[in-house]
Each structure stands twice: as C-alpha cells, then as structure tokens.
C-alpha cells in the first residue's frame, strides 16, 4: 500500500475562520476529511498533521523517510523563508508535492519565491482545497508508476542473469 504524509504549515489551522476571501470558507478539518475519504477510495494510507512550528515540520519530514513513500505539504509562510524545510525534503528524498490554496505568484512579491519548489516533484497553487485532492491523485499515480517501473526492471535483470 502507498503511504503518504500530508503536512499543513503555520496558521492553516485557522482556515475557514478568517481571511475567507483569500483562503476560502472550508476549515482544515473538512479539507482533511475529504482527503481521508479520497485516500480510502484510492487505497492509500495517509497521515495528516498540522504544525505552527518549523522544527516540528522538519522532524516529521525527516522521520517520513522510514514509513512513508511521499509527502504533500502546504508549508504556508515557511514556503518563503525556510531553508530548513527545503533541506529536509532534499535530504529525505521522498517525492513531495507543494500545495498552496492561493496563487502565490499573483500575490505580494515576497510570496513569489518558494524555497520548496526546487526540491518538489511539483507545485499546485491557486486552486483552493481541490489542490490537495489533485496532489493526492498525482502523487499516488507517480508512486504507483515508479513501483511498476522498478518491478519491471528487477524482473528483466533477473531474467538477464539467468541467461548468462
Ligand atoms: O495559499 C496558501 O496556501 C499559502 O501557503 C497560505 C499561507 C501563506 O503564507 C502562503 O503565502 C500561501 C498562509 C496560511 C495562513 O492561513 C490562514 C488561514 C485563515 C486565516 C489566517 C491565515
């Protein structure tokens, strides 16, 4: 079974309560429920966590190296500041999709740069909560395809070594 860690960064626990014009009306819990349902349908094991603490996010990313196959992260404001989160993603080497509810490229200039995107498999920005759902679908497909490729490769290697 594919295992995916979903991380929400700082202040995303406030979703649905304030700044609705930018981030929408859905709460983090309702986004998480929809993701959990989608994961069940796909047959994916997901673990969803939120933290306001950069170090905690870094530790979770490091630990994901054993126990998870991929990561979906909305690093929130740490997107634009955290070399530590970028380094953790690069170090752990798990395929990671960066999600933003708002389109960070259309907002204030300080939000245009992401430290995470350079080490991410992809970035989804500006589609609201659907972005998480697309990330789950995309990461699942990527991981299944990677597994299939590895399996085919090891079968063909075994066959080659038999014929030697
Ligand atoms: O668009 C996104 O998902 C962001 O990652 C959200 C971050 C922001 O710093 C990024 O530039 C883009 C902010 C998350 C704060 O969420 C709040 C939700 C409700 C009320 C206040 C903040």
With a 6 Å cutoff on the Cβ, whether 127 touches ligand 1 is no
Task: Report pTM.
Answer: 0.95
∠ CA 114-118-121, nearest 5°, is 110
pLDDT band at 126 (very low <50, low <70, confident <90, very high): very high
Q: Please tell me the distance between residue 131's alpha carbon and the centre of ligand 1 in angstroms.
A: 14
User: Can you give the pLDDT at residue 156?
Assistant: 85
Mean residue pLDDT across the chain:
96
With a 6 Å cutoff on the Cβ, whether 85 touches ligand 1 is no
Q: Please tell me the distance between residue 96's alpha carbon and the centre of ligand 1 in angstroms.
A: 19
Instruction: Tell which one of 12, 19, 97 to mutate to probe ligand 1, the residue whose CB is within 8 A of the most ligand atoms.
Output: 12
Tell me the C-alpha to C-alpha distance, in Å, between residue 104 and each of 14, 42, 64, 137.
18, 29, 26, 22
pLDDT digits (tens, 9 = 90+) for 38-76: 999 999 999 999 999 999 999 999 999 999 999 999 999
User: Can you give the pLDDT at residue 26?
Assistant: 96
User: Using CA atoms, how far apart are residues 27 and 136, in angstroms rounded to an integer?
Assistant: 18
pLDDT digits (tens, 9 = 90+) for 2-33: 999 999 999 999 999 999 999 999 999 999 99
pLDDT band at 161 (very low <50, low <70, confident <90, very high): confident
Active-site residue set? 23, 100
């Amino acid at each position: 079974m594919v295992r995916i860690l979903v991380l929400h960064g700082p202040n995303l626990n406030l979703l649905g309560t304030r700044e609705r014009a930018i981030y929408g009306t859905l709460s983090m819990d309702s986004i998480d429920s929809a993701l959990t349902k989608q994961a069940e349908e796909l047959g994916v094991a997901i673990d969803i966590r939120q933290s306001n603490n950069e170090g905690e996010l870094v530790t979770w990313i490091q630990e994901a190296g054993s126990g998870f196959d991929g990561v979906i992260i909305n690093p929130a404001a740490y997107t634009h500041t955290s070399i530590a989160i970028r380094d953790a993603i690069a170090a752990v080497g798990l395929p990671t999709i960066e999600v933003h509810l708002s389109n960070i490229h259309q907002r204030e200039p300080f939000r245009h740069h992401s430290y995470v995107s350079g080490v991410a498999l992809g970035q989804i920005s500006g589609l609201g909560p659907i972005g998480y759902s697309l990330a789950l679908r995309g990461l699942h497909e990527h991981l299944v395809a990677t597994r299939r490729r590895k399996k085919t490769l090891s079968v063909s290697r075994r066959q080659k070594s038999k014929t030697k």
